[in-house]
Amino acid sequence: MDQQKYIDDLKEIKSIMSRSSRLISLSGLAGVFAGVFALAGAYLAYDTVYADQNYLGYRVAVLTNETITSLLTIAIATLILSISAGVFFTSRRAKKTNEKLWDHQTKRLLINLFIPLATGGILCLILLSKGYIGIVAPLTLIFYGLALVNASKYTLDEIRSLGLLEIALGLFATYFIGYGLIFWGIGFGVLHIIYGLVMHRRYES
């Protein structure tokens, strides 16, 4: 009896240490909404760049300044909506579970997430300014995946799996340059929705 109580106490201590070292209040619904916004953004970007073309055919795009401005507007709007959904649903879940949303673990997570994201974002802007349009979508997937893997040690283990999938998809998209936006929609849209539904069912239902 005493031995079982000792084992239970060790499990409880391990659980407390894990909770204190990781941000576990991430909401699956945030992932779902981020995926929906990403799909909508990908569709709008596709329609902006490849208007009046065969959607399934290989395409060569020539971007004007007006088109680039429209794409940046779509990207910024998608990012703002996704971040807003993430903050809203994660805050709501943190309140339900009586967890702190902002602490030193959150700061460490965001720093480790931001470094690869910022590096990839700057690189993509440089490539875009030089006219290397086709490689931008695959690189955003790769650097986003690297950011998730880098930040995963401060949050749920499933984040690492999602990051690895994003990296693999980005590498695959690099081989099929002409279909970058399709892979972008799959990576940021479909994978996020699937991830969000799995996380919601596993941790919130």
Q: How much is the pLDDT for 139?
A: 94
Cα gap 129→174, rounded to integer Å: 19
Q: How much is the pLDDT for 83?
A: 86
> Exposure of 17 by Cβ count < 10 A (0-12 exposed, 13-18 middle, 19+ buried)?
exposed
Cα gap 173→141, rounded to integer Å: 9
Cβ partners under 8 Å of residue 201, min gap 6: 28
Asked if pLDDT for residue 14 goes beyond 70, the answer is no
Tell me the pLDDT band of 51, cut-offs 50, 70 and 90: low
Cα gap 111→108, rounded to integer Å: 5
Q: What is the pLDDT of residues 61-117, one digit of tens each?
A: 666 777 778 888 888 899 899 888 888 887 887 777 777 666 777 788 888 889 999
Q: What is the percentage of the chain residues whose pLDDT exceeds 70?
A: 79
Count of CB atoms situated within 10 Å of the CB of 177: 16
Tokens linked to 132: 């290397």
End-to-end CA distance of the chain: 33
Asked if pLDDT for residue 13 goes beyond 50, the answer is no
Count of CB atoms situated within 10 Å of the CB of 124: 18
Q: What integer is the mean pLDDT of 169-191?
A: 90
Q: Are 167 and 183 in contact (CB under 8 A)?
A: no
For 27, the 3-state DSSP assignment is coil
Q: How much is the pLDDT for 181?
A: 85
Q: Are 184 and 140 in contact (CB under 8 A)?
A: yes
Cβ partners under 8 Å of residue 104, min gap 6: none
Asked if pLDDT for residue 22 goes beyond 60, the answer is no
Q: How much is the pLDDT for 190?
A: 94
Q: Is the pTM of this model over 0.75?
A: yes
Count of CB atoms situated within 10 Å of the CB of 146: 21
Cβ partners under 8 Å of residue 69, min gap 6: none
Helix H or strand E encompassing 114: helix 104-129
Tell me the pLDDT band of 19, cut-offs 50, 70 and 90: very low
